[in-house]
Amino acid sequence: MAVVKGRRIEVNDLMQRGYIYRLLEPIGRNFHADFRPELTPKQLLALGIFGGKYMTDCSAEFPADWFERARLCPMLHDPELNCFGVNASQPLSVWRANGWIYHEDPRGWFQWYCRYFMGRRCPDDQRQIRRWRAMRRHLVQVQRNCERYDISCRRRQRQALLHWAYDARRV
């Protein structure tokens, strides 16, 4: 799938039917000044996030090359597929109960990030960028409590940071 600015995307997957958005920016460019993720969605999928279950029914929405090396498991959530081999996810029900889900992105932050990376802009951007920035507190905790590059230290926290596009392998 070629990603073109102005292109209309229609989503029909298990969680959304008939949702339509337009790509307003070039893929991977023109991010808000306060939003500088360290990893792309393609890189995150290849490293292993969300137990491999997260994006198994919606690949048609995104570039095919994002999924060429993705660590996915359509049958179940498998923490072994995660980069750090641990579960660092909360159920979607917890995200819903806490009001963290925006109606246009029923899968949560990572779905928002994939769409933002593709070039969609929406009314929820500022809130999601604030949430992304708030994850830095976990980065600081890893830096304060672990030897540099000791990826065995605080693996759950590192995996959670990875979910939010912080490269916790470099800390």
Structure confidence by residue, pLDDT tens digits, 93-122: 998 999 999 999 999 999 999 999 999 999
Answer for the pair 119, 23: CB distance below 8 angstroms, yes or no. Answer: yes
Q: Residue 119 is which amino acid?
A: G
pLDDT in tens, 127-149: 999 999 999 999 999 999 999 99
Instruction: Kindly report the backbone phi and psi dihedral angles of residue 34, in degrees, each rounded to the nearest multiple of 5, phi listed first.
Output: -90, 5
2-11 burial, b at 16+ Cβ within 10 Å, e below that, comes to: eeeeeeebeb
Q: What is the pLDDT of residues 39-96, one digit of tens each?
A: 999 999 999 999 998 888 999 999 999 999 999 998 889 999 999 999 998 888 998 9
Helix (DSSP H) and strand (DSSP E) numbers for the chain: 6, 2
- Where does the chain have alpha helices with state H? 41-47, 92-97, 109-118, 125-134, 136-145, 155-163
Q: Is 147 exposed, middle or buried (0-12, 13-18, 19+ CB in 10 A)?
A: exposed
pTM for the full predicted model: 0.94
